[in-house]
Structure formats: C-alpha cells, structure tokens
Amino acid sequence: MKKYKKAIYIIAITGIALLSSCKGGGGNGDDPEMTIDDRLKGSWVMVSVTVDGADVTSDFTGLKVTFNSNGSNSGSGSYSHTGGNTPIYSTGNYNINGITGIVLSEGDGGVIEAAITLSNSDKTLMLSFNNPTTTFGGGRVTSVAGEYVIVLDKQ
C-alpha cells in the first residue's frame, strides 16, 4: 500500500510541475510575445470620461479612437478619432514612452503626455493625463482644465 501512495504522490507532483511549466492557455491577454503596439492597435470606443473625478461621459458620447501601429516593435504610429467630442487632438501620431506612457502629438507641435493602462485581457484601455489649460491647439477649441481619465473598450 505504501508503494501505491508513493507512486500516486510522485505522479501528482510530476503532473503539477508539467502543468505549471506550460505556456499560454490562460487567456488573460498577458502574452509576453505581444508588444504594446500589438495590444494598442485597433479601434476603441469610449466607456467613460472623468475630469478631476467628476463624470463627464455624456460630453463625449460616440467617441471612438483608432490606433495604427508603424510596426510590431516600433513603439509609434498614428491615431484618429471619430464621433463625439474629444479632449485629445483629432488626428496625430503617438509614441510609446517607457512601459506605461504614451505621447500624443499633432502636426502643429501640440503634445499630450498620458499614462496608459491595458486591462481586461487587453480589451480595456485607460488614458490618464493632465490638461492644464482650457484649449487643446488643433483639438477641441475649448475644453475643461483638469485631470482626465478616459476609459475605452476595444471593438
């Protein structure tokens, strides 16, 4: 009987070791082979917008942002938005800044530096940035100064 218990114990430990060493299959969106460009590219629809913690989602109804990468590991590309108002420029370029940052820029030299967070298996994108003024160059003519948090879901 002791032999069988020992054999079952060894088989169980071996099985656990094999299962824990397997790659993928978790479906959590944390694929180490995917770059930030791969995760970011595509169309994103607005879920919510807050300014200094106040919900202003209704001011941005219909907002959709599309990111187009310059390549899988380029860390840069272009973006545009359709529908709804936006506190970011209508079109421009982006550059990944470190691990959790993005710089949105426009041809006239306007720049927004934002923190980005991808969650929900890379299906939810959060952009956080401070707008110190009430205008955004080539973006909206007038806007509200403050700390913006824009939550978008991938289409």
pLDDT tens digits for range 50-104:
999 999 999 888 889 999 999 877 889 999 988 877 777 788 899 998 878 899 8
Higher pLDDT, 32 or 45: 45
Domain 36-154 has CATH 2.40.128.20: yes
How far, in Å, CA of 130 to CA of 77, rounded?
22
For the chain, what are the domain ranges?
Answer: 36-154
Provide the b/e sequence for 113-146 (b: ≥16 CB within 10 Å).
ebebebeeebebbbbebebeeeebbebbeebeeb
Cβ-contact 143, 112 below 8 angstroms = no
Going by C-alpha positions, the residue among 93, 3, 82 that lies closest to residue 40 is 93
Helix spans in the chain (H): 2-21, 36-40
How far, in Å, CA of 64 to CA of 91, rounded?
12
Q: What is the pLDDT of residue 146?
A: 87
Q: What is the pLDDT of residue 132?
A: 75
Question: What is the per-residue pLDDT across 113-138, written as a single tens digit (0 to 9) for each?
Answer: 899 999 999 999 999 998 876 654 44
pTM of the shown model: 0.71
Q: What is the pLDDT of residue 118?
A: 92
| Rounded average pLDDT over 46-53 | 93
Give ∠ CA 41-42-43 in degrees, rounded to 5. 140
Q: Which of 25-34, 35-44, 47-56, 127-136 is modeled with the greatest confidence?
A: 47-56
Region of 25 (left: φ > 0; alpha: ψ -120 to 50; beta: rest) is left
Q: What is the pLDDT of residue 142?
A: 53
Q: What is the pLDDT of residue 107?
A: 65
Question: What is the per-residue pLDDT across 3-17, written as a single tens digit (0 to 9) for each?
Answer: 554 445 455 454 444
